[in-house]
A and B are shown apart, each in its own frame.
Chain A
């Protein structure tokens, strides 16, 4: 089975843009959908991106997802950062077994 590797933490200022990467260890990143989940402290996860780039209703278009085959990675980009975006973000994929990345703590300061 493959692994998904994320940076442990990232930080950026309000109003700026941040990108969180998720690198697949083996197999093609495009072979299976990639999702991104947001988890604020003390709360359950919520979906911000599913099936590589789709946003659930209610998720602002400041959140976008993409796939880069050349680096075998997926990315979550959040533009116009707000303090409420501060949370843990997890990437996830599935090939008959679910796989989560280790999570990235986003600090907006």
Chain B
């Protein structure tokens, strides 16, 4: 079976750094994706990891450890507009559709 876990909610302060964790158990592995979704809007692609290590993209970084079935999304210099849900998704093998976690709702407060 497939299982993707991430915290339901997090709160962080404007200007701070926040780390959103994701753990997964899948039959195989062919990529992990992070998406941002503002309320009522479409998910938008943030990052992709297929090899172990850190991928950095501006204020956003994503880390993957395949042996631990673990990823995190790191958001730096938080802004109010970063208040959104963050979805972790895994492709378990080949070119199968992504399987999504339930998302982490991040609230950025002043």
A interacts with B: no
